Amino acid sequence: MSPINELSDITNRIINHEPFAFSRWGDGEWHNVDKRKGQNCDGNIYYEDLGDALLEVVSTRRDYDLGVQTLHPWSVQQAKKFDQNWGDSDVMHKASEKNQLQPLFDCLNNSYVIYIGNRSFSKLSFVDRLIEIPYNNVWLQKDILMDSIYSTFDYKFKVYCFAAGMASNVFIHEAWNRNNTNVYLDVGSVFDPYVGRKTRGYHKTIPHLRDM
């Protein structure tokens, strides 16, 4: 299995209805694994049991894609501690900065998309169904959320987009283990500016999004 290192690695698989999962590992996930106290930049708390679950996921070689935050060298160093076929978790971020995210919009608009995120994402044109979660700390609702996700499993090929913070990596892991015939994609904050929420510094510097 080749790691995901280009946006086309994602879009081509979706277009071809090729099932895959892609979870993204950055500073917040590593801080949680290391049992840091406090919260990340989005206000998501570093829960001890979430750290345990993340560590369990990353400690065993997986049959799906994991990406590391290549724009932050410290995250890359943390990833080297674990035997995974690491890809680049920043491929969507980099494409957005270059105004090259349209191929992802196109393939999602031609797919059945279930979006796991807060209510603001209902504005996205490609979302067929929103599984609404709170803006922060959805980890506290893990069992309810997973039941909601499992209830959507059927014969139809679907793309699940996760914007659920650090907990996304655990949710994706469990969903893939339950049903590996879909796509489970950790989109993080990449679509935030497209619904009027500039939650990352780079969102404010993207020329085509400055007036949104």
**Which tens digit of pLDDT belongs to each residue from 28-70?**
999 999 998 998 777 788 999 999 999 999 999 999 999 999 9
- Which strand (E) or helix (H) includes residue 93? helix 91-97
**What pLDDT does 205 receive?**
60
CA atoms of 94 and 189, how far apart (whole Å): 12
Q: Of 82, 90, 55, 62, give the one whose Cα is nearest residue 1.
A: 62
- Written as one letter, the residue type at 192 is D
Instruction: Please list the ranges in the chain whose pLDDT falls under 50.
Output: 199, 203, 210, 212
**Which residues are CB-contacts of 77 (< 8 A; sequence separation ≥ 6)?**
none
pTM reported for the whole predicted model? 0.92
**What pLDDT does 98 receive?**
87
